[in-house]
Chains A and B, each alone.
Chain A
Amino acid sequence: MEKPLTQNIRPDREPLDIREYEQAGGYQALRQALQMSPLKIQEMVTDAYIRGRGGAGFPTGKKWSAVPMGDKARRPKFFAINADEMEPGTFKDRLLMEGDPNLVVESAIIASYAIEADVAYIFLRWAYKLAAQRLTKAIAQAYEKGYLGWNILGSSYSLEMYLHTSAGRYMCGEENGLLNAMEGKRPIPRTRPPHAVMVGIWGKPTAVNNVETIACVPYIVSHGSAAFKALSHTEEGGTKLYGVSGRVKRPGIWELPLGTTLGEIFHDYAGGMRDGYQFRGLLPGGASTSFLVEKHFDARMDFGSMDKTGSRLGTGTIIVLDDKTCPVGMVLNLEQFFARESCGWCTPCREGLPWLRDMLDAIERGAGILEDLEILQEHTWLLQLGHTFCALAPGAVMPLDGALKYFREDFENHIRQHRCPYRH
């Protein structure tokens, strides 16, 4: 099976340096891309039907085709590569940036060319020190080789690229929070419309895409949309980085056809549960997705199929809940994160999340009452999409909703026994 994202990545080895990367076929896609028009690349990306890997699954071709193009577009235009990866349970972009930094840089150049961006920023998470070092080197070498800067490879296209390292805030990864953070403001969302593609960083057209999303683009350019679509098991194109963490035999990350089933990833790749532990449930794609249970093992891990389960693909990195871990405690841990990271801009989230956290804390300690469960359930509606200014709070209530659905007796046991049955 072809692995366009991880073909150069060898665990426990230094990443390819730029010369080795070129020898492995690197930067050929950029040469090919520069022979095509930007609109042609947009069209290929649309046909490839790649949905955004940052978690929301927005079709990338559709986003790019909304960017104003040609002489009349306001300049400079920006491309922001979202490398803020802070979704709990997610460790996929780290692999790409540490494992094949040249691929990330080449991808960013091609993506920028496709929207005729003048400046690209890689917006990197503060904690990713090794990725920062390796990307800095890859960018510098790309300049030396003429892949960045003025008249790239003798073409009329020019691009500047910079690494921006953040200082730790989940909301910086939210598309509009990121725009504000780039401008040196607090990462609170912006009113839409206008969307970033029209009015983004410093008011100029800006495309924001996840690292894994753009990393698919060189393959699409060199092999074509049909080949990219053929990599997957469903109508959504490509491969996907799937990860598994928790008490499984082999926690890890694998590049597999998009639409691989949940059960296959859990059993065949992660090896099932560690000895002495039973499976209870899992979050399929990071903290802001809803729980799934054993009956979902046949479901495909693509955006469309996951939506049908009542959960979401999210980031595609699975977090496993075992039988010795308290589901109430796990949801409390998640809501603690979301409450802490709420930007405070809108009331339902700013007030609601700490409230949920405190209520879960009370239940976990054995101080809850049955009516609390109704209030919790009510909040999964109150904080849903459309009621808040951004997707943080709607994401926050997803695992809560799933836990109330599948682990309700655990909540009730805490309340009836006035203690956490999992603590001895």
Chain B
Amino acid sequence: MSGASMLTDEEKREIDEELAKYRTKRAAGPEALKIVQKYRGWISDESLRDVARYLELSDEELDSVATCYNFIFRRPVGRHLILLCDSVTCWVVGYEDLRARIEQRLGIQMGQTTPDGRFTLLPAACLGACDRAPVMMIDEQLYVELSPAKVDEILDTYR
């Protein structure tokens, strides 16, 4: 437990807004990690420590929370995150074809990042759009009723 918190003013301001919602500092942990991740891309050990210091938690306490969430990244990810829904309805209506197309096109497997750091491909549990399956999210945007051809068009729009 050493070293001061190295959060930026902006990060601190946003975390303070979250802290106002809760009765303990610890409760803001997930939101604080997401804020820092938004700016830094992922949660390195240093980032984890910065947040832990600020919330007066041990690194281990905060890491126990960080590691249980699917979308707190403790390893670097690419500029754009492709979250391909691999849950049941999407699986029934075409997940495997989409996955094959994306993997082939980007030359990576599920869970990997392209060498140029542009994309990381991850599976996501049901994105709650099963009536428009198969679906994926890229960053904050949901794409529905996908086909391999449509995926090609969409990926072309990301740099």
Contacts and interface: CB of A to CB of B under 8 A. Distances in A.
Is chain B a partner of chain A in the same complex?
A: yes
Interface of A: 85-91, 93-94, 121, 125-130, 162, 164-170, 181-187, 202, 243-247, 251-253, 283, 287, 317, 319-322, 325, 329-330, 333-334, 336-337, 340-341, 343
Given A164-B31, A319-B88, A85 B71 contact: no
A170 B68 CA distance: 10
A398 to B, nearest CB: 13
Contact of B92 (A125, A129, A186, A322): A322
B131 A252 contact: yes
Contact of B128 (A127, A182, A244): A127
Interface SS, B side: mixed
Nearest to B87: A88
Contact of B87 (A252, A287, A317): A287
B126 A89 contact: yes
B86 interface: yes
Nearest to B141: A129
A130 B71 CA distance: 17
Given A167-B30, A319-B89, A337-B88, A127 B69 contact: no
Interface string B124-143: 11111111110001001010
Contact of A127 (B24, B26, B124): B124
A102 B55 CA distance: 33
By Cβ-Cβ distance, the 5 closest A-B pairs, closest first, are: A167-B69, A245-B130, A168-B70, A88-B87, A88-B126
B116 to A, nearest CB: 26
Interface of B: 21-24, 26-31, 33-34, 64-65, 68-72, 83, 86-89, 91-93, 124-133, 137, 140, 142
Interface SS, A side: mixed
A89 B27 contact: no
A94 B88 contact: no
A169 B92 contact: no
A244 B126 contact: no
Contacts of A320: 92
B129 A94 contact: yes
Given A166-B30, A287-B88, A91 B125 contact: no
Given A89-B89, A319-B89, A125 B128 contact: yes
18 contacts: A86-B128, A88-B125, A89-B87, A94-B129, A127-B137, A128-B128, A167-B30, A184-B27, A184-B30, A185-B26, A186-B65, A202-B23, A243-B131, A252-B131, A283-B88, A321-B92, A330-B91, A336-B86
B111 to A, nearest CB: 13
A334 B131 contact: no
A126 B89 contact: no
Contacts of A245: 89, 130-131, 133
B21 A183 contact: no
A296 B13 CA distance: 56
A284 to B, nearest CB: 13
